[in-house]
Chain A
Amino acid sequence: MSILTQAIYDHLAADGILVALLSSYKGEPAIFTIDPAPGDASTPYVVTAGEIVQTPFDSKTTRGRSLVRDVRIYDEASGSAIVIEAIAERVRLLLHRQPLSIGGYEWIISDCGGPIVADERDYYGRIISLSLTAEEAIGS
């Protein structure tokens, strides 16, 4: 599993405001780390699975990674994008320049691009691109 998957899930799922805006799936907040989400999942939900890019962030004495990952949000096209935009803004607030707790790594910096619109015929979509740099924790 990516070093980031658990970290993002935990960070988003711990936020009560975001969880209240999302639906739930099998008793858990609808934040999926598989792509696409299960067919029986109800909207609105978040999908974040796998890195777009992953490059080394090494120095002579340290090892690290720079990653880019998309966080996608979907909701039924009901005629109003208020809910999906509130979710997207909340996700951005939670991830943009906010420290993440990543197992075995020390967070250095992260920032978000977007949200951008990715609407489909029957669903609204918003996408946030998270760029993150982390360094292996000393002793890990």
Chain B
Amino acid sequence: MAAGTYTLKWTPQAVKKAVMGELVANGEIVGKFVETEARRRLLSIRDPEWGMAYRSQLVARLLTYEMESSNKEVTIRVGVRPSQSGRHHGFYIELGSKTAPAHPFLRPAVFQNAAHIVALLAGR
């Protein structure tokens, strides 16, 4: 090779691997961020007062995130885990019911923070 020239070798697999590794690392940060945001919103719900203990002691405790990665994608899920006492904790808080108003806490945690989430995924 002549002095002053450089060879750049493009290896797609290595690039994909590096990007995937970064996404997985940053995805953990995103998952924790959205979980924290959702919990903050959940704990700020005041109505109905009789549901306060359910929200703060059960649903908030079951609120979590999980990540899955494969060769082609990284999936971050944030939600409320099932427990022995039920599979739909938080469902009717988020969506409301016939007799209780909706208090969305999961979707706003994502969509109100979309720009911030994209920045976190990019490592900024």
Chain A interface (Cβ within 8 Å of chain B)?
A: 35-37, 47, 49-50, 52-53, 55, 68, 70, 72, 74, 118, 120, 123, 125, 127
B108 close to chain A: CB less than 8 A? yes
Contact with A along B4-17 (1 / 0, CB 8 A): 00000000000000
Query: Contacts A35-B102, A70-B102 hold; do A125 and B111 have CB atoms under 8 A apart?
Result: no
Are B108 and A53 in contact, CB atoms less than 8 angstroms apart?
yes
Residues of B within 8 A of A123 (CB): 98
Are B98 and A74 in contact, CB atoms less than 8 angstroms apart?
yes
B85 close to chain A: CB less than 8 A? no
Residues of B within 8 A of A37 (CB): 98
- A-B CB pair tally, cutoff 8 Å: 47
- B98 in complex: contacting residue of A49, A53, A55, A125, CB < 8 Å: A125
Nearest A residue (CB) for B106: A52
Are B96 and A35 in contact, CB atoms less than 8 angstroms apart?
yes
Are B107 and A52 in contact, CB atoms less than 8 angstroms apart?
yes
Are A36 and B98 in contact, CB atoms less than 8 angstroms apart?
yes
A70 to chain B, nearest CB (A): 6
Are B97 and A118 in contact, CB atoms less than 8 angstroms apart?
yes
Query: Contacts A47-B96, A72-B96, A127-B95 hold; do A36 and B101 have CB atoms under 8 A apart?
Result: yes
B79 close to chain A: CB less than 8 A? no
Q: Interface extent on B, as a size class? A: 10 to 19
- Complex CA gap A72/B114 in Å reads 25
- Complex CA gap A37/B95 in Å reads 14
B57 close to chain A: CB less than 8 A? no
Nearest A residue (CB) for B91: A118
Residues of B within 8 A of A125 (CB): 97-98
The list of the 9 closest CB pairs from A to B, nearest first, reads A53-B111, A35-B101, A52-B104, A74-B98, A123-B98, A52-B107, A53-B108, A36-B99, A127-B95
Are B99 and A72 in contact, CB atoms less than 8 angstroms apart?
no
Can you name 9 A-B residue pairings with CB atoms under 8 Å? A35-B96, A36-B99, A49-B101, A53-B104, A70-B96, A70-B102, A74-B98, A120-B92, A120-B98
Residues of A within 8 A of B107 (CB): 52-53, 68
- Complex CA gap A78/B95 in Å reads 22
Query: Contacts A35-B102, A52-B104 hold; do A72 and B111 have CB atoms under 8 A apart?
Result: no
